[in-house]
Structure 1
Amino acid sequence: MLNVAFMLVLALVACEGTPPVTPAPGTQGSVPTRTPAVTNFPPPVSQATATPTPVPVIEIDTETLGGVKVTFWHAWSGPAGEAIQSLVEAFNAENEYGIVVESAYQDNYNDLYDKIDNAILTGDLPSLAVAYNYQIQDWDANPGLVADLEPYVNDPQWGLTPAEQADFNPTFWGQEVIDGKRTSFPAQRSAQLIYYNLTWASELGFDAPPGSPDEFKEQACSAAQANKTDADPQNDGTGGWVVSTTPSAVLSWIYAFGGEVIDPLGAGYRFNTPQTEAALTYLKELYDAGCAWQSADDYPDEEFAARRALFVTGSLADLSFQTTAFERAGNADQWTVLAFPSPEKQPVIDVYGPSFVLFEATVEEKLAAWLVVKWLTSPENQARFIAASGTYPIRSSTLDHLGEYAAEHPQWSAALELLPFAQSEPGYASWSVVRWVVSEVGTQVFRYYFTADRIPATLELMDETAAELHARSGE
């Protein structure tokens, strides 16, 4: 059956041509909506590049920027969309050059991706867009399409000083450089986290969050046993961890067990490792022991708020939804967020999110677009966006403007403490499909007919499938 599942993935790719793109949280309409987490960072093997010595590379008369129009396509909706529109309006009113930004909301990242593809054919590209890194890499395969931001970042007049560059989170900053070219600039970052009920854990006899997979299992099994033996038969079979097989969740467990999914030679993917086998075996055993269970709901907010789960997996951007679920349930339990526990005491969180991309245009239009990016990511302006979106600040000094927000959002503050454990996912264009292979493997692990002794053969097939998908992408 696993072979059939993989073949379905391959068949979909062959039939549809362009790999599907999953929209980010809060991008599908006029109110905040939630979608599966997306993970789209460049391959670690390609990240490290030396910062060139700043030299004058952008020679332009500032008067020529007056009246330059920057078309800006994005897919932010709800409070985040309102915040970005307000910021664009402020830029138009305040910038000293007379640059005019025209922002256009594109419904979601699928639509944005398709519209950019169409615009490539018609030659009517926007000046600036926000997209996921694997999308940007796909566009960058077209010569002369995506602008290199490195000259803008390092320009002594228009760029960022070394101190300003050092202000950006290093996990996010290096991810935008592929083979020496800065194809994008960080715009927003979320994370995959474990939500944890502190109050219930304390009642179960645990005075600290789990620090290892064994401790995670102990607490999950204790919660499952508590629900099994209480007076409510309706909650039997619940109480531990609600299974999540999103690409981010499965990959987070692989990373927590020390797994690496990028081939060390930079030639695609490598899933068939002892670490990945150990991660999947652990999850299978957790489930078979009755300490993890599958909910019918895509988002287990209500399960977590009703004490039908001690642990659930969710994103940083979804914290407000979980808070609302506790309020609806009338539950005053204290809860927090955790990284994925590691046998080596090296916990992991998976970070992901879209980036700014500039398309080749006139010298004036590209510089104007870069100045928009620089202005939007200034500490003060980014703080306004973070307060609306609930995601991570991309630079340290932004926190100076978020003191009140942090005090009012304790789970968000707890998530900030986990940033040192951040790890990125592959940024290959092929990752848009390979990640669904990861998800399908996770789904199979929790099937009743799947046994742990099938994991080695599954990983071999996983490598073969990923290699074929990567080859089809032309990378």
Structure 2
Amino acid sequence: MRQPSGRRFTALVTGVALAAGLASGCGSGSGAAKKITFWHGYTDAQATAIGRLAGEWNAAHPKQQVQPVFSNNDNTLQKTLASFVSGKAPSIAYQYGSSLSALTGRRQTQDLTSLVNGSPDVNWNDFFPAARQGATASGKIYGVPALVDNLGLVYNKKLFDAAGVGYPKPTWTWDDFRSAAKKLTGDKRYGWAYVSDGTEDTVWRFLALLWQAGGDLLGAGDKEAAFDSPAGQQAMQLLADMAVTDKSVYLDAGDQQYLNLFNSGRVAMMWTGPWDLGQINKGVSYGVQYLPGKVTHASVSGPDIYMIFDRKAKDAAWPFLKWLTSAEVHLRFAEQTGDLPLRASEQKLPAYKSYLAKYPGNKVFIDNLNQNVTKARPNIPEYPRISQVLGTAVQAVLLGKKKPGPALAEAAAEVDRILAGS
């Protein structure tokens, strides 16, 4: 869901278990209406839009009634796990993609592979690759894409003009980026900002750098670390050069101040996603561009998913999810919310032009989905621990406490131990 940066990624490794939520189930008798309890974390425009769509579905399907129930996304994983214990799991719940590995293998979690493969109208390959990857683990499909986004370079045009620096181009290299950040730094102003709290918010930005240099997080089969490599060294060295040597980076300790500083003209560039565009002050003239590249202009996506947990309600929940995530219906939702399209075919619908006219800043992020989002974080149970280890290493380099080489080597050794089951 479109919320301030870090909303789904810090939730990956933190949270307190909550009490169980609402019950769901089926009415008795063949003619009774089936209740589809739908947990979601939508607020504001998203809540209004999903309420309208649920009402539209209910009006057309009196025997398959959807009951939307708000559930804070940051707590939904813990709340869902608690519902398994209480026996009151929701029919459908919106989940961060990072929660998938914690939910697979549980009897309440429904494997949707046969439903997807047996439903040609789903057109699974029409979903962007990153969205499909976020719903898949060990070759099985456990969710339907609910949201897909990615990182782009957002910049303050006024600050670039004042510094006499040309606006970022699609072909910008790391050298171009570093040089611009240095020129834009000074007088309590920073060229760039980086979240330095060591959480997944720190890690996923590093993954983009790693992939841009041609590297990988893990080796084949996800059996060993692969980031202690020339590509990893180059990515980590760029962070050290900019943060420690140039001092052109505002290190955000995790309280998400970089957007406030961007709005106040204290930060010239940020790596963020479409969720932050709506929070940029109206008086700030900004642009959006691809991330700078070393070998590629790779970006990283944070897809979220809808999952089905109630076996008895599965037959009723599945048609609703197919409808909700169809190209025409989702584009209507996106027009009201500013979410990115989930499917390539949404770009071919007549309403897509009006969508882009309403949200012009989203075009770069959509182009990223078509071109630059080619890899995904692994959906494996060990990933939260891997993220903690790598986040600590990146944080140490940003703060100048460790050199890139030793930081990577120590982190890779620890990740190897995690993957070996130690």
Q: Tell me, yes or no, if structure 1 residue 216 matches structure 2 residue 167.
A: no
From 140, 144, 150, the equivalent of 1:191 is 150
Give the aligned partner of residue 9 of structure 2: 38
Deviation at 1:429, TM superposition (A): 2.7
Please list the CA deviations of residues 418-439 of structure 1 after superposition, one character each: whole Å capped at 9, or x if unmatched. 2210132222233234323333
Cα gap change, 1:132/1:260 in structure 2, threshold over 3 Å: closer, same or farther? same
Give the aligned partner of residue 274 of structure 2: 316
Give the aligned partner of residue 232 of structure 2: 276
Deviation at 1:218, TM superposition (A): 1.4
Amino acid at match of 1:131: Q
From 98, 103, 121, the equivalent of 1:161 is 121
Amino acid at match of 1:458: A
From 382, 403, 413, the equivalent of 1:430 is 382
Cα gap change, 1:85/1:464 in structure 2, threshold over 3 Å: closer, same or farther? farther
Query: Take 1:240 and 1:211, find their aligned partners in 2: how far apart are those partners?
Result: 15
Give the aligned partner of residue 252 of structure 1: 208
Where 2:241 maps in the other structure, the secondary structure is helix
Where 2:361 maps in the other structure, the secondary structure is helix
Please list the CA deviations of residues 104-153 of structure 1 after superposition, one character each: whole Å capped at 9, or x if unmatched. 1112332x2122212212222222112123423222222x3322212212
Identity across matched positions, percent: 21
Give the aligned partner of residue 264 of structure 1: 220
Query: Take 1:76 and 1:184, find their aligned partners in 2: how far apart are those partners?
Result: 18
Give the aligned partner of residue 23 of structure 2: none
Where 2:288 maps in the other structure, the secondary structure is strand
Amino acid at match of 1:178: A
Please list the CA deviations of residues 369-401 of structure 1 after superposition, one character each: whole Å capped at 9, or x if unmatched. 111100111222212322344232111232322
Please list the CA deviations of residues 175-233 of structure 1 after superposition, one character each: whole Å capped at 9, or x if unmatched. 43333321111111122222123454355142652611011111111222xxx4xxxxx
Give the aligned partner of residue 138 of structure 1: 102
Query: Take 2:251 and 2:139, find their aligned partners in 1: how far apart are those partners?
Result: 44
Unaligned runs of 5+ in 2: 13-28, 197-201
Please list the CA deviations of residues 431-470 of structure 1 after superposition, one character each: whole Å capped at 9, or x if unmatched. 234323333222211214x25xx32221122123334445
Is 1:336–1:414's contact at 8 Å kept on the other side of the alignment? no
Amino acid at match of 2:251: Q
Please list the CA deviations of residues 70-99 of structure 1 after superposition, one character each: whole Å capped at 9, or x if unmatched. 11122222221222122112111113x620
Cα gap change, 1:85/1:133 in structure 2, threshold over 3 Å: closer, same or farther? same
Unaligned runs of 5+ in 1: 1-23, 27-32, 42-62, 229-234
Q: Tell me, yes or no, if structure 1 residue 147 matches structure 2 residue 125.
A: no
Deviation at 1:368, TM superposition (A): 0.9
Give the aligned partner of residue 64 of structure 2: 99
Is 2:184–2:190's contact at 8 Å kept on the other side of the alignment? yes
Q: How do residues 242-391 of structure 1 correspond to structure 2 at under 5 angstroms?
A: 242-245=193-196, 246-267=202-223, 269-287=225-243, 288-294=245-251, 298-322=256-280, 325=281, 327=282, 330-331=283-284, 333=285, 335-344=286-295, 346-359=296-309, 361-362=311-312, 365-391=313-339
Cα gap change, 1:64/1:337 in structure 2, threshold over 3 Å: closer, same or farther? farther
Give the aligned partner of residue 73 of structure 1: 39
From 389, 396, 399, the equivalent of 1:447 is 399
Give the aligned partner of residue 206 of structure 1: 166
Query: Take 1:208 and 1:180, find their aligned partners in 2: how far apart are those partners?
Result: 39
Give the aligned partner of residue 54 of structure 2: 88
Query: Take 1:216 and 1:72, find their aligned partners in 2: how far apart are those partners?
Result: 44
Scaled by the length of structure 1, what TM-score is found?
A: 0.75
Deviation at 1:25, TM superposition (A): 4.5
Give the aligned partner of residue 409 of structure 1: 359
Deviation at 1:276, TM superposition (A): 0.9
Q: Tell me, yes or no, if structure 1 residue 457 matches structure 2 residue 406.
A: yes
Scaled by the length of structure 2, what TM-score is found?
A: 0.84
Is 1:37–1:248's contact at 8 Å kept on the other side of the alignment? no
Is 1:39–1:425's contact at 8 Å kept on the other side of the alignment? no
Where 1:190 maps in the other structure, the secondary structure is coil
Query: Take 1:65 and 1:317, find their aligned partners in 2: how far apart are those partners?
Result: 43
Where 2:195 maps in the other structure, the secondary structure is coil
Cα gap change, 1:174/1:139 in structure 2, threshold over 3 Å: closer, same or farther? closer
Is 1:253–1:340's contact at 8 Å kept on the other side of the alignment? no
Amino acid at match of 2:227: F
Deviation at 1:64, TM superposition (A): 4.9
Where 2:151 maps in the other structure, the secondary structure is strand
Query: Take 2:311 and 2:168, find their aligned partners in 1: how far apart are those partners?
Result: 55
* The structure with more radius of gyration: 1
Query: Take 1:470 and 1:82, find their aligned partners in 2: how far apart are those partners?
Result: 43
Query: Take 1:388 and 1:468, find their aligned partners in 2: how far apart are those partners?
Result: 47
Give the aligned partner of residue 6 of structure 1: none
Where 1:161 maps in the other structure, the secondary structure is helix
Amino acid at match of 2:67: E
Cα gap change, 1:211/1:40 in structure 2, threshold over 3 Å: closer, same or farther? farther
Amino acid at match of 2:317: A
Cα gap change, 1:412/1:447 in structure 2, threshold over 3 Å: closer, same or farther? same
Where 1:347 maps in the other structure, the secondary structure is coil
